[in-house]
Structure 1
Amino acid sequence: MTEGDDEKKVLALLREKLLKEASSSGALAHTPEPWEISNHPLYLHHSDQPGAILVSQSLAEDNYMQWSQSMAMALQIKNKIGFINGTSQRPTEDQADERQQWDRCDILGKTWLGASMSNPIAKSVMHCKSARAVWLELQERFMQSNTVQLFNIENEIHGCEQGTDSVTTFFTKLKALWDERDALCDLSPCACEEGGKLCEYVKNKKTMKFLMGLNENYAQIRGTIVAIEPLPVVNKAYSMVLRHEKQAEAAMGSKQGVQQQEAAAFTVRGSDRDNSRDNGRSNSRAESAEGSKPKYEKCNKSHLTENYRQHLKCTFCG
């Protein structure tokens, strides 16, 4: 056996010894827990701080629908939506580590909800046992006024008209009311034939409401859209009306430009006539003044007395 073989054998024995020591002391790499993976619902990032404000608008007495939608989207991004909708259940006692991790995430969700409420509301739900309990408490408390809110929204939609607003402002206002109403009703789409007919009716109703709210300046384009079969959806109708508005503004701008040019030309012509008239008046006044002066027989001219005899010459000396 050569010296090199002895060295390899010693290194192999040393490696085997080190592996045994590492195995017995637990120094080998451990298998990661499921919640240590970033897409797991129980995963906690270092930026997930207690009491963080996830939405810009705090919950008050009159904005529950907007707040709940914003909060649900924020929790969905954080992968914690299951803690309020009930899809994430607390692990059993025999899963001690996962149960502890779930409790941490649930408490974190409660702090997020509390930080996004007004102080009186936050105090009233502080003793709820879970984030799900807080969510249900708020839902039961504030969803009771849905009928009144729906009535007010429908009343606003009924009275919504363009008035002095632009087409874009009017459409944006009307669409915001429609979206708020749809969120209150929370109707699920139906795949049956009757459901399709109902959906088509609702779309046509929105288009008609938009067209009826326009000013009389848009009567022509409104009649054009209504004559289209089938009736365009409201977004398409808005696009057509907006294009008509831009064309009308461009035509009005061109007309005003021509009128301004004509007005400028008229002003110049009028100024020339005034100058000519003034010059004529000046000449007339000069001639009148000249004619009113006495003329002398010798020269038949009007001049001062001291200049009267300047035209005379001496016959002797020339």
Structure 2
Amino acid sequence: MLVSEPLAEDNYSTWASSMMMALHIKNKTGFVDGTLKRPTINAEERLQWDRCNTLVKTWLISAMSKNMSKSVIHCKEARGMWLELEDRFNQTNSVALFHIESSIHKCEQGSNSVTTFYTNLKGMWDEKDALCSFPSCTCEAAAEIKTFMETQKTMKFLMGLNESFEQTRSNIIGMDPLPSLSKTYAIVLRQEKQSEVAADKATAMPESAAFSFKGLGRETSLTEKEAADTSVNSVRRGNRDVRRPEGGGRYCEKCDMTNHSTKYCRAHITCSYCGMKGHSQPYCRKRKNDITNGGLQQPKANHVGTQNGVTEGQSDGFPFSKQECQLLLNKLIAKSQSTSANLVGNIQNYEELSGPTIGEDDWDRN
């Protein structure tokens, strides 16, 4: 098949132009435009002409749809087949022109790229020019008419662009003289490429980004390249990715960290002194620094509240409540008194409690 798209009911003008170009390459246009007549004197030339005519007819039939080829397959000459198709489809130029004008009017960029939008618009303009082209003219007004038609196409191209090209559109319209259609397309395409590069830079993570890990009172910083070399497996947990170490190393299921296990996770603990998570008040470094510097401050969080699951009267780092401490204290006092009473009752000689007295052997300075 010589053309990429077979003949249908709505693409005759495009098909005819493509077919004429293909026949021109094969040097067979004379068989369809009537310039190469069938020889009548030389029998050998007549036989060669008939063979070429059949070849052109075969090309035309192969470039049509199956149903359409049945209506022209019995034509004796390629010229007659060409005229048959022209008479059938060339009479509806007004209808085709209406549809093309309507498509050009409705054509907008939408979700397409600038290149796709321009290609669709340019194809419809070319098809429109093929249906109703201006006759060739060499007068002085021909250049003005051509400039006017070029300006109309440029305006339509700018009007169909998305709102993201509003600034570019204003800059082009403000130019004097207005650039040609091809130059306008080049300016808009360059702006689109620059916007894509800026968007990629904004969303891409820089190579020098660092990952911070806190654990055991120290911080470690790894660059992205070093973190990529870490041997980890990525598994799915809910709507997020969980990175597990290979070989069954330490891993916390609460905070998804690899520097401790779930048993020793302190991510849910909140310090009642500084309000930070990950440690309690007895292990608060800020509190220790304030004590060392002699400037102990009041806790920022109310450690007797019940919002974090701590009962009233119970501090964050102390395991007993105020009532339990008082009960233990009373028991210790009662036990201490009972022990003292038993000790006094078991001693037979009270002098053992008061110590030795002055006896006859003591030196009394006499």
For the aligned pair, the TM-score class normalised by the smaller chain equals: 0.5 to 0.7
Partners of 2:31 and 2:56 within 8 A in 1: yes
* Identity value in percent: 48
| Bigger helix fraction | 1
1:162-209 Cα shifts (integer Å, max 9, x gaps): 223222222222112112211222434433221111111111111111
Residue equivalent to 2:108? 161
Q: How does 1:195-274 map to 2 (within 5 A)?
A: 195-257=142-204
TM-superposition CA deviations, 1:28-58 (whole Å, max 9, x none): xxxxxxxxxxxxxxxxxxxxxxxxx333433
Match of 1:125 among 62, 65, 72: 72
2:280–2:317 CA contact under 8 A, matched in 1: no
- 2:45 and 2:269 mapped to 1: Cα distance? 98
Hey, what's the Cα distance between the residues in 2 that align with 1:137 and 1:273? 90
- 1:92-131 correspondence to structure 2 within 5 Å: 92-93=40-41, 95-131=42-78
| 1:172 maps to 2:122 | no
Counterpart position of 2:26: 78
The equivalent position to 2:317 in structure 1, one of 286, 297, 308, is: 286
Between 1 and 2, higher relative CO (CA 8 Å, sep ≥ 6) is seen in 1
Please give the per-residue CA displacement for 1:112-153, whole angstroms capped at 9, x wherever unaligned: 212322333223223323111110111011111111011011
Q: 1:290 to 1:73 in 2, by over 3 A?
A: same
Give the alignment's Cα RMSD to 1 decimal.
3.3
Question: Quick one: distance in 1 between partners of 2:93 and 2:7?
Answer: 16
Return the offset for 1:99. 2.5
| CA deviation profile, 1:92-111 (whole Å, cap 9, x unmatched) | 42x33222211221122122
Comparing 250-259 with 134-143, which one deviates more in the overlay?
Answer: 250-259
The 3-state SS of whatever aligns with 1:126 is: coil
Q: Note the C-alpha offset of 1:90.
A: 2.3
User: Cα 1:249–1:120, aligned 2, differ >3 Å: closer, same or farther?
Assistant: closer
Q: Which runs of 5+ in 1 are unaligned?
A: 1-52, 299-318
The 3-state SS of whatever aligns with 1:289 is coil
* Displacement of 1:257: 4.4
Alignment of 1:150 onto 2:181: no
In 1, Cα distance between the equivalents of 2:20 and 2:169? 40
Q: Greater shift after overlay, 148-157 or 287-296?
A: 287-296
What residue identity is the alignment partner of 1:245?
E
Residue in 1 that maps onto 2:2: 54
Aligned residue in 2 for 1:24 = none
C-alpha displacement at 1:297, in angstroms? Answer: 11
Larger fraction in strand: 2
TM-score normalized by structure 1? Answer: 0.66
SS at match of 2:10: coil
Work out which of the two has the higher radius of gyration on C-alpha atoms and give 1 or 2.
2
Q: Is the 8 Å Cα contact of residues 206 and 234 (structure 1) preserved in structure 2?
A: yes
